[in-house]
Structure 1
Amino acid sequence: MASGHSRSTSRQDDDPVTAKPSWHGSTQSTRKVNTILSAMKSNHFEISREDTSVMLACLTDYWLPITSRSTMPPALGPSLDYKFIEQQSSVLNSAFEFDGQHYNLDKNASLPEGKKLPRTIEYKKTLGQGHFGYVAQVSDKNGRTYALKVIPRKTQHADAREQMRMVKQEIEVLRKVDHVHCIKFVGSYTDAKSIGIIVNPAADCNLAKFLSHFDHKNEDQYMVLASFFGSLASALEYLHYDLRIRHKDIKPQNILVKGENVMLADFGISLDWSENTHSTTKQEVSRSPVYCSPEAARDEPRNSRSDIWSLGCVFLEMTAVIHAQPFKYVQNILESHGSRNFRDCPDGIEEVIASLRKIDPEDRHLPLDWVEQMLKMKKTDRWTSAVLRDEIHKSRGQSDLSFCGTCCEEHKPRSPTSSPVVAPTMTGDEIGADTSDDLNKAEKSLEKAELHSATKNGWQTVTLIRREDSPSNWIPANLVDSCKLEVWPNKEQSHLALEGQHFTSSEYVKLTFTVGGGQVLKCDFWVAPVTAPLNSLIWNTSAP
């Protein structure tokens, strides 16, 4: 029987500053930084292990080039700063290539005037701009067009560290994305003044503009818009189940239209880098207050169903246009109820749905059925993205419009009995038998553990029950909520039999917790219902 896999280390090793990595222990994201440090040592520049640890903890290759001491870690001395800045020229690139890699550009790689872009990138026009920088349409030497996001670099170390953390996260996620209804990563670069991220394609417009300029006299446009429902559901299911990430910022402005194709963009990590906040909730709410979920606004734990809420808001606006109403139709009704924010206007949402149901033809009301399941105030009542896509797929032939994109035509529903994509280490086995003997075993194995949570304190003391006979790990939902842990959906279910009661779960969390001696373990835990008689973690100690 499979279970969540654990990985043992020490808590100190979790902190890269105190982990004291080997001089030659290069990782992919610090390969060039290590090369610079090795070159400095070869040139008889003395660097302590402590300074090496600080450098590798604070800097990644995405930082290069560094041109100012203020950007370097403040714990280092000026001589080390200057020597590092001087030595980095040996690892910089002289030109950017459109090959999916990240380039660290030297001063000769970019044009000295105009937009000061890399010489291999031809600027066409600005597509949008804001506090973060700007997005431009650009082309390569063969005339292929792309979208380039340019972000001015922060110069103070604390600001730069947060910015580069987000840059690294965004680029590494974009590299994994491979779906017809998601933008594709082309390449990225860092130069002395800015960070550039290039994606394909350069869209014709975003969904907000598409809906605002919708031609209600053109029946072909109705067909295109209808196909967007299935396409967006397919893209979101891909993010949730295949990549195991939340989008976090679904809104019409982050949905791009190119010809008859629709694509998700900015997967919730492309923050407004002019604002340095460490609160994920504040970031989500401040970016898109109109579309953010009720739980995000209340600073409660979010999961993939928070994306479902946001997409449900977008679907309602799309449905209004399908019913020959203007794009602002939904917003106008919500504002008549006192707010533009969907989460604040449940009565407004009901009025919109009721009014659209009165408009013929009735076979175009199908999206309203989906929206009602997506805009449940309680997140656990909402559909998952897999259920949403299945329901849209089932709608084929029920309307004069096809709500499935080309990807939906080949769609095969995820079977609850098949191996889950999200958490392949989890099984649907029951945890022990309903006997007092099992409970006695559990009581004898009680001990204290520390669970790493998303709260300010970071670690929370909990009771740990070691169960060698348990085929899977469990955590009660109330503990998940109090620690504000990220919850993920799973297509396969697991069952818990304990104290005469049976519980079923199709959600899990990824935990980091410590046991005796400071040993740190990382593994997946099924989420038991809040009513389960558990105040502790149940851990399968036989997991590797």
Structure 2
Amino acid sequence: MVKVVVKRLHQSTPAKDVLAEYECLRRLNSIHHPNIVETIAAFRLKTMGSRYFNFVFPLAIGDLKRLFEGGHDRNRQVLRRARAALWHQFAGLASALAYLHEELKTAHRDIRPANILIYSPESATDARGDLVLKITDFGLAVDLTKASSAVWDRSRSSARSYDSPETRRPLSTDIVTISQQLFADDVWKMGCVFTEMLAFLVDHGSSGVSRFRRSIRTIEDNVSSDLFNDTRFDDGEKVKPQVTDWLDQVARKDERSCELVPLIKKMLSVGSERLTAKAVCSAFLEIDTADIRYDDGDRVVRLTPAVHAPRPTFFDSLRLGLEGWLGHPVDWAPFPAPTLQLQPGQTLVTWKFGGEPLSLAISTDELREYRATSLPILESGIPLLPRFNVGPGEVDVEVLRHRREPRLPKKE
């Protein structure tokens, strides 16, 4: 039985806003993205002489705001799973934003921890945490294929603490420029969320988020602010130096953060230099901890560089030594195959065949060739990037599925 939650729109909500949100949710359902909340149903209900419009969504176990503020601190199971799972959710959230911008041409406008829900799939048995983050609340979203220069309504603005500096100034009256600004604002907001996710992961949970927020607080004229930017007190052009200083400190002391920090800083750069959602998503292809899989048409594989690959046990080393002495692999069934000993620069390729795990070590050149002809996908199987807007030097994923060479090197 699926547990659900009902979002009831206020009776005073204008009909055009109800219709816009309904249409947005309908379009979102069509892409079936694992990091965007699906809408189960929509209905009108008349009660006490009033009519209300309602949306039905799957029930989440919480949201990032509650997690960051300590709302789950007494639930050790949720905390354990969150600390394991959140490292693998960055790429999925970036992918969801890229689908919104590139495929649906829609700006969310209200990305913040409260609007990123935490789900626990009923069938999940993943030891890495199995929790999934999903973007929700599209009440302020704008379909920029239908929008006019009037889309930016300050009275319906999102939570100010996550706004980018440029959105506090008057927007252009040109719809193309507005689209770029709203998309860039979404990327900024996601960069803020990513930063707080890092604070949670590397600094002992919610207390780490609190310490981070205190560390970026600035005071001017006896007014304290922990906003990400200095707009109220400065020129509104850039992120606070306190934020970038904190990111630099984290990168120096945590190996996984070291890969993410340069990307997050680009998401929080000035508007003209900020990465697009598509570029952010593509950047995750170079991040080892992003947990992206590759589909080469025959199999779906996971790529793990030597520095992150599991080390062989003493028993594994004995078995590998025996295979080397014999000059060929050994079928160790019913025991699992030994964990391979990787050399520096090698990558471990793992996949399943007939339900059995298989693995192979490949060189840097072989990795480059394999990735160039394979489709990067999320754990759910959806492509990391939308199938549209193929630019110069890029490969259409439909064409990619028919490019069979080069294959994985054969196991000797």
TM-score, structure 1 as length reference: 0.44
Aligned counterparts of 1:175 and 1:362: Cα–Cα separation in 2: 40
Q: Which amino acid aligns with 2:27?
A: K
Cα deviation, residue 268, structure 1: 4.9
Q: CA offsets per residue over residues 498-530 of structure 1, 9 Å max, x none?
A: xxxxxxxxxxxxxxxxxxxxxxxxxxxxxxxxx
What is the percent sequence identity of the aligned residues? 21
What is residue 276 of structure 2 aligned with on the other side? 384
Cα deviation, residue 281, structure 1: 4.3
Match of residue 140, structure 2, among 259, 265, 269: 269
Q: Which amino acid aligns with 1:181?
A: N
Cα deviation, residue 257, structure 1: 0.4
SS for the counterpart of 1:492 is coil
Aligned counterparts of 2:227 and 2:135: Cα–Cα separation in 1: 21
Aligned counterparts of 2:383 and 2:2: Cα–Cα separation in 1: 34
SS for the counterpart of 2:6 is strand
Match of residue 421, structure 1, among 367, 388, 400: 388
Cα deviation, residue 248, structure 1: 0.7
Alignment map for 1:233-252 (pairs within 5 Å): 233-252=94-113
Alignment map for 1:511-526 (pairs within 5 Å): none
Alignment map for 1:215-254 (pairs within 5 Å): 220-254=81-115
Question: 1:363 aligned to 2:256?
Answer: yes
CA gap of 1:408–1:310, structure 2 versus 1, over 3 A, is farther
Aligned counterparts of 1:413 and 1:144: Cα–Cα separation in 2: 27
Question: 1:211 aligned to 2:93?
Answer: no
CA gap of 1:413–1:266, structure 2 versus 1, over 3 A, is closer
Cα deviation, residue 343, structure 1: 2.4
SS for the counterpart of 2:118 is strand
Aligned counterparts of 2:284 and 2:84: Cα–Cα separation in 1: 15
Aligned counterparts of 1:264 and 1:249: Cα–Cα separation in 2: 10
CA gap of 1:296–1:241, structure 2 versus 1, over 3 A, is same
Q: Which amino acid aligns with 1:167?
A: V
Aligned counterparts of 2:385 and 2:61: Cα–Cα separation in 1: 33
Question: 1:346 aligned to 2:244?
Answer: no
What is residue 200 of structure 2 aligned with on the other side? 321
Alignment map for 1:357-506 (pairs within 5 Å): 357-359=251-253, 361-377=254-270, 379-396=271-288, 397=304, 407=378, 421=388, 491-492=390-391
Conservation of the 8 A alpha-carbon contact between 2:62 and 2:118? yes
What is residue 6 of structure 1 aligned with on the other side? none
Aligned counterparts of 1:400 and 1:201: Cα–Cα separation in 2: 35
Max radius of gyration: which structure? 1
Q: CA offsets per residue over residues 404-430 of structure 1, 9 Å max, x none?
A: x97268575659xxxx725xxxxxxxx
Q: Which amino acid aligns with 1:182?
A: I
Aligned counterparts of 2:36 and 2:200: Cα–Cα separation in 1: 23
What is residue 295 of structure 2 aligned with on the other side? none
Conservation of the 8 A alpha-carbon contact between 2:7 and 2:55? yes
Q: Which amino acid aligns with 1:330?
A: F
Question: 1:306 aligned to 2:182?
Answer: no
Total equivalences in the alignment:
261
Aligned counterparts of 2:4 and 2:140: Cα–Cα separation in 1: 20
Cα deviation, residue 245, structure 1: 0.4
Q: Which amino acid aligns with 2:211?
A: Y
Conservation of the 8 A alpha-carbon contact between 2:203 and 2:209? no
Cα deviation, residue 348, structure 1: 2.0
What is residue 145 of structure 1 aligned with on the other side? 3
Q: CA offsets per residue over residues 209-257 of structure 1, 9 Å max, x none?
A: 1233366996643220111211111111111111110111100000000
CA gap of 1:194–1:151, structure 2 versus 1, over 3 A, is farther
Cα deviation, residue 148, structure 1: 0.5
Cα deviation, residue 180, structure 1: 1.3
What is residue 214 of structure 2 aligned with on the other side? 332
Conservation of the 8 A alpha-carbon contact between 1:308 and 1:374? yes
Cα deviation, residue 395, structure 1: 1.3
Q: CA offsets per residue over residues 181-227 of structure 1, 9 Å max, x none?
A: 11112222224424233233111101111233366996643220111
CA gap of 1:210–1:179, structure 2 versus 1, over 3 A, is same
Q: Which amino acid aligns with 2:269?
A: K
Alignment map for 1:20-99 (pairs within 5 Å): none
RMSD of aligned Cα (Å):
3.2
Aligned counterparts of 1:196 and 1:413: Cα–Cα separation in 2: 34
CA gap of 1:367–1:268, structure 2 versus 1, over 3 A, is farther
What is residue 38 of structure 2 aligned with on the other side? 184
Aligned counterparts of 1:411 and 1:152: Cα–Cα separation in 2: 35
Aligned counterparts of 2:385 and 2:136: Cα–Cα separation in 1: 24
Aligned counterparts of 1:255 and 1:413: Cα–Cα separation in 2: 19
What is residue 289 of structure 1 aligned with on the other side? 160
TM-score, structure 2 as length reference: 0.56
Cα deviation, residue 263, structure 1: 0.4
SS for the counterpart of 2:36 is coil
CA gap of 1:400–1:253, structure 2 versus 1, over 3 A, is farther
CA gap of 1:200–1:406, structure 2 versus 1, over 3 A, is farther
CA gap of 1:229–1:167, structure 2 versus 1, over 3 A, is same
Q: CA offsets per residue over residues 67-88 of structure 1, 9 Å max, x none?
A: xxxxxxxxxxxxxxxxxxxxxx
SS for the counterpart of 2:185 is helix
Q: Which amino acid aligns with 1:492?
A: G
Match of residue 257, structure 1, among 101, 115, 118: 118
Aligned counterparts of 1:391 and 1:183: Cα–Cα separation in 2: 24
Aligned counterparts of 1:408 and 1:281: Cα–Cα separation in 2: 37
Q: Which amino acid aligns with 2:59?
A: A
Q: CA offsets per residue over residues 375-416 of structure 1, 9 Å max, x none?
A: 012x23111112211222321246759xxx97268575659x
Conservation of the 8 A alpha-carbon contact between 1:251 and 1:314? yes
Q: Which amino acid aligns with 2:167?
A: A
Aligned counterparts of 1:144 and 1:413: Cα–Cα separation in 2: 27
Aligned counterparts of 1:268 and 1:329: Cα–Cα separation in 2: 31
SS for the counterpart of 2:106 is coil
What is residue 197 of structure 1 aligned with on the other side? 54
CA gap of 1:251–1:199, structure 2 versus 1, over 3 A, is same
Conservation of the 8 A alpha-carbon contact between 2:5 and 2:58? yes
What is residue 22 of structure 2 aligned with on the other side? 171
SS for the counterpart of 1:342 is coil
Q: Which amino acid aligns with 1:210?
A: L
